[in-house]
Structure 1
Amino acid sequence: MGDSARLPGPITALWEWQYRGACMGMDSTTFFHPEGERGSARRRRDEGAKAVCRSCEVLEICREHALSTHEPYGVWGGMTEEERRAVLARRRRSPGEPVA
């Protein structure tokens, strides 16, 4: 095994914002759909998650994190997977465009 003592420590500033999220301590099923969830059930769960996000002090940081890491699952920063994919597609066509 290699000597991990030489590696840099974690940069907590990159993820510490998550401790301030309105979702902290909530059940993850609020933000991540169960296998096979579709239609009105999924829309209701997504809207409930977005309502939590609207009250969150780190909404913008969370959203940008999800976009920059291409987070494939769940509601992050008040956006669903589909909404994030659409923003990323627009950014590819128009670099520098602000988040919608």
Structure 2
Amino acid sequence: MVNIRRLPRPVAEAWEWQRLGACRGSDSTVFFQPDGERGTSRDRREARAKALCGRCPVRPECAAHALATREPYGVWGGFTEGERLRLLAAGWEDLADRRRTRVDIARLAARLHPRAPVALPRPRAPRPERAADAGRRFAESRG
């Protein structure tokens, strides 16, 4: 028989961030894909969710939670399922605090979208002189 008095109390501070989320009270269909959704509909829905996440005060906690628990569905902390899979593969723990309850959003986004090397323009070769132009300049130089 379990002694209920010995069970640990909930760690409220670990979940307090959820009460402060900008998404609190929002329609969950903005964050979670309805059955059969594809293409531009999905892109628009994810863009709306990410816009809300972008102004959320607890986005670092939300993203860390989704990555730490390997949340398989929805937009969390401004990252889609596919983006979180890529972050899990690339590694994210070094961008989190010691307890992995907050993550550096800017550095996480940079890891997701590393800057592509910039291709510098090749120097242009001088245009070959036309024979007529060269002949004219030669004649002018001789006086």
Give TM-score, length-normalised by structure 2: 0.64
* Number of aligned residues: 98
Query: 1:89: how far off?
Result: 0.3
- 1:99 maps to 2:99: no
Amino acid at match of 1:57: P
Higher RCO (CA 8 Å, separation ≥ 6 residues): 1
The gaps in structure 2 that reach 5 residues or longer are 96-106, 110-143
Greater Rg, structure 1 or structure 2?
A: 2
Residue of structure 2 in register with 1:71 after alignment: 71
The runs of at least 4 aligned residues of structure 1 exceeding 3 Å deviation read none
RMSD: 1.6
Structure 2 counterparts to residues 1-100 of structure 1, below 5 A:
2-91=2-91, 96=94, 99-100=108-109
Q: What is the identity percentage for the equivalent residue pairs of Structure 1 and Structure 2?
A: 53
Amino acid at match of 1:31: F
CA distance in structure 2 between the aligned counterparts of 1:73 and 1:39, rounded to whole angstroms: 17
CA distance in structure 2 between the aligned counterparts of 1:3 and 1:40, rounded to whole angstroms: 54
Query: 1:35: how far off?
Result: 1.3
Q: Per the alignment, in what secondary structure is the counterpart of residue 99 of structure 1?
A: helix
Give TM-score, length-normalised by structure 1: 0.90
The gaps in structure 1 that reach 5 residues or longer are none
